[in-house]
């Protein structure tokens, strides 16, 4: 095997791992009990899935066609920066809208902090 073929296989394996992570993310979104844990599954694992897939695609095209795609690099950086922030903002909006935690949740760590801020204003 040449170096080029090894790099192609690395790209293919990254794409496969990204696909597996996307399926795991979908199961997490379907099976988890409340908006907070679903948001965690949607942002963490799906961000990793997209990053693995795009990185694998970038490496594959770079190895096979000597093509460096600026669009893929921009997509990787855009997803890496925006997905966790949007997940955090959605979860924060849900908490401030008094969306109930799941029954299996043991502690609400923000309850005292948020209510203290509300009473001070």
Q: pTM, whole model, 2 decimals? A: 0.80
pLDDT 10s digits, 1-50: 889 999 999 999 999 999 999 999 999 999 999 888 898 888 988 899 99
Which tokens belong to 41?
A: 């599954």
Burial tier of 54 (Cβ tally within 10 Å: 0-12, 13-18, 19+):
buried
Q: In this structure, what DSSP letter does residue 81 have? A: H
Confidence at 51, pLDDT banded by 50, 70, 90:
very high
Question: What single string gives the DSSP state of each residue in 45-56?
Answer: IHHHHHHHHHHH
């Amino acid at each position: 095997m040449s170096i080029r073929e090894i790099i192609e296989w690395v790209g293919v394996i990254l794409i496969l791992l990204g696909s597996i992570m996307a399926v795991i993310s979908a199961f997490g979104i379907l099976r988890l009990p409340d908006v907070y844990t679903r948001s965690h599954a949607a942002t963490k694992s799906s961000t990793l899935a997209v990053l693995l897939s795009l990185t694998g695609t970038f490496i594959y095209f770079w190895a096979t066609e000597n093509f460096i795609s600026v669009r893929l690099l921009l997509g990787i950086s855009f997803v890496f920066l925006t997905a966790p922030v949007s997940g955090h903002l959605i979860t924060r909006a849900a908490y401030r809208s008094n969306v109930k935690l799941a029954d299996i949740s043991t502690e609400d760590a923000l309850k005292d902090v948020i209510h203290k801020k509300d009473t001070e204003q």
